[in-house]
Structure 1
């Protein structure tokens, strides 16, 4: 069928596939380096407990069959290896069916991780990677020209990501309608980057222009994706530029990068397929069209949610994360709070003890410590600490477990931190947490003190606890 293929997107497919493989690699590397403290057998939210109470049909994962830290490590590092192979172009050297199976491997492995990841994997970009990765299975390799159906399904994902985010903003916080949200956002976002301080101090009129441009990019430009070229390429390019602006202004894991990857698939790069490319085999056309029908059918609930006045962000409607709903920052915090965790070796009254502060890798702590760039790498503990500062309800069971691990000087937990103030052989006797209000310093304060943050004590978040008390907490 001549209408089935789009030879002009030969290079677009290649760029998309290699970029997606790079995002997969980061995601699996993040899982491999952090899982023991978060989800392992002695983790804060152990996977074995989760699979005991959640059936396979609700959260399909190979870890329902068996779990061990060694098996999780094998899955994560295997995902890294397959992603690296795809990044190097191994799928192009295989027959069509072999390339499809190779792309299916990282999707199945990462699905197994996400579905048992619990709170640590409750972010929209996890489902976005899975949905995008599933469609990548059917995009083909050098044996066939790109199927236009799959290319449009990728644009359908991008449309829902951008348009859904635009709608949630207009329906949410009034500062989006007043164009004032960026007066606060760069200071209160989950994890500021090295340039966030400077973005915060941009003139107010430029902040208004940023918000207005964001509305245009998310509410109007997505419709250009379904127009003829070169208009579709222009629309996708505007989205890429907007996402790069967000990359510079904060640390949003791979959310911006996977959005850029999707936009790359809509860009018509110069270059055509080799003249000798054979027609797509019938079985491949049947499979692709069947997947398209499935995606259209599963899109019903996400679309209903997107156009609903009670729209929710970042939700999966099926356990395989095939078609999801997205959105971000429907409301903006005006004030930044941070939970500062401290420990002491003293056994006397807390008010007389010498308290030493734990330093996290990404979240603000020491006011003189300038934020670093971590994205697309995802610091999961740091992100959850931001949510806890918004409300203690986000702490759940894992925060008490974190305190317990700190009291034990647990090696895997300490590896998630930038610095522990205690030697390996002398864990703290007590750990406590306090809530502080943080604000960016002014230009004058930065020159005088060298600190990018100024913080003020608000209240006690967790009173001093010993190891036995920490273990008894929920």
Structure 2
């Protein structure tokens, strides 16, 4: 680092800008494919009804986060146009095209992504109530001020990325250490690989590893989240201590974060949470010799400071001051006895509090949805609807979907954890009874090939991974046993 210019972090900037933009492509694509059947004009939780409610009173309006659809009436066509524009802009940033111009060009592009995606998450209700939604928004906002290829990355913005990774990792570590006993007695990962929301192809193999290995996983997690994040700030010491040591310490800390996230990527499906954490961790990896050195010649005009236009320097420093103000409450939250998880302290979702899996469920309960075309439900032959990501067929290998986000499958995992069925699930069952084509496209398989079932019901099952001996005998990945009826049988009224 050299004052206002983070001269050794050009490689970090390239990874941050292109990586965050790539994940915006995924986020907008996920929305394009799923928002309309989930939240569109005829969705399970229609966004137009939410917007109408917020227009009914000032108090309700204050609860709604910023969204373009407050000023422009929501339609499914406009949602498609917004997602398409987001994908095009993000793809251009991945290709590095806006970065070839002045810093204002990539800034406007990233702010467009930030504002456009916030317009979606603000009306996304429970289907967008995940921590990685606010994480990509905050990352996109900060990426807007990384500048372009014309000047070195601003030091203040690089440091703000370290602060984001610190809140993300240290916050998650503190949530765990304060959470369930399983994190303190080192048994959490004896259950997690099996009971996580959406297992991946290697989750069963990870679950079957020895108990001593799982204890080591938890210890490694605590080290990576509670100790390592402090060393991300080591490169700042390079401003005062000459030599490569501060930069090396920061890079090693970032490498540990990346390694732990890669393990989570290969053993689970957490949308883009782990992927964006990997991208953000690169902010602490300085590589000397990449990018132009800042100009410090006496002949430089006064509006050029450390190779950056003075106006751009003012803008980035203003962002730093803004974050200094906004960070007080999340800093308090990190050390509060009642720590909030995935919480925002302002309407713009900046300087948020993060964290996940403070407790780990010990058994996996799945809601299985079945239908039949028989008239008598008591003597009927029931056929199962198959979801794309959540367990169903006990012989099927779980698939890798992340960083793509299957929103319906994720909420199906949360369903057994609640005390009652949620409203969206009731509407979902009605849409199955009506053989609604957009809803059926959210599933992996419709057992009735578009025909309307006469009855639909929901039954809970306990799932567990097969042992190696069981797999050799049956070839199944899961063992399941039926627990109880959850809903139905229900039918549409004539």
- Class of the TM-score when normalised by the shorter of the 2 chains: over 0.9
Find 2:470's aligned residue among 410, 432, 445: 445
What is the TM-score with the length of structure 1 in the denominator?
0.96
Q: Which residue of 2 aligns with 1:12?
A: 12
1:216-231 to structure 2, matched below 5 A, reads: 216-227=223-234, 228-231=246-249
Find 2:340's aligned residue among 308, 312, 315: 312
User: Retained in 1: the 8 A contact 2:7–2:294?
Assistant: no
When structure 1 is superposed on structure 2, of 234-243 and 224-233 the one drifting more is 224-233
1: CA distance, partners of 2:5 / 2:386 = 53
2: CA distance, partners of 1:326 / 1:276 = 35
| Pair 1:408 & 2:434 matched | yes
How far does residue 255 in structure 1 lie from its aligned partner after superposition?
A: 0.3
1:285-324 to structure 2, matched below 5 A, reads: 285-324=313-352
| Pair 1:106 & 2:133 matched | no
1:177-256 to structure 2, matched below 5 A, reads: 177-227=184-234, 228-256=246-274
| 3-state SS of paired residue (2:482) | strand
2: CA distance, partners of 1:392 / 1:362 = 23
How far does residue 152 in structure 1 lie from its aligned partner after superposition?
A: 0.5
CA RMSD of aligned residues (A): 1.5
Q: Which residue of 1 aligns with 2:485?
A: 460
Q: Deviations over 1:75-125 (max 9, x none)?
A: 111111111110000122222212211121111111101111100000000
Find 1:354's aligned residue among 370, 375, 381: 381
User: Retained in 2: the 8 A contact 1:11–1:271?
Assistant: no
2: CA distance, partners of 1:465 / 1:270 = 66
Q: Which residue of 1 aligns with 2:77?
A: 70
| 3-state SS of paired residue (1:431) | strand
User: Retained in 2: the 8 A contact 1:56–1:64?
Assistant: no
How far does residue 270 in structure 1 lie from its aligned partner after superposition?
A: 4.5
| 3-state SS of paired residue (2:247) | coil
Q: Which residue of 1 aligns with 2:300?
A: none
Structure 1 unmatched ranges of 5 or more = 470-474
Find 2:403's aligned residue among 357, 367, 376: 376
| 3-state SS of paired residue (2:463) | strand
1: CA distance, partners of 2:47 / 2:288 = 47
1:325-344 to structure 2, matched below 5 A, reads: 325-344=353-372
| 3-state SS of paired residue (1:119) | helix
| 3-state SS of paired residue (1:373) | coil
Q: Which residue of 2 aligns with 1:472?
A: none
1: CA distance, partners of 2:289 / 2:219 = 35
| 3-state SS of paired residue (2:337) | coil
2: CA distance, partners of 1:455 / 1:207 = 24
Structure 2 unmatched ranges of 5 or more = 55-59, 235-245, 296-303
User: Retained in 2: the 8 A contact 1:79–1:106?
Assistant: yes
1: CA distance, partners of 2:449 / 2:4 = 64
| 3-state SS of paired residue (1:155) | helix
User: Retained in 1: the 8 A contact 2:194–2:465?
Assistant: yes
1: CA distance, partners of 2:452 / 2:266 = 38
Q: Which residue of 2 aligns with 1:143?
A: 150
| Pair 1:418 & 2:418 matched | no
How far does residue 398 in structure 1 lie from its aligned partner after superposition?
A: 0.5
Q: What number of residue pairs does the alignment pair up?
A: 466
What is the TM-score with the length of structure 2 in the denominator?
0.92
Q: 1:207 to 1:2 in 2, by over 3 A?
A: closer
How far does residue 72 in structure 1 lie from its aligned partner after superposition?
A: 0.3
| 3-state SS of paired residue (1:337) | strand
Q: Deviations over 1:365-421 (max 9, x none)?
A: 11111100000000000000000022244x421001110111111111111100010
How far does residue 423 in structure 1 lie from its aligned partner after superposition?
A: 2.4
2: CA distance, partners of 1:316 / 1:161 = 13
When structure 1 is superposed on structure 2, of 456-465 and 294-303 the one drifting more is 294-303
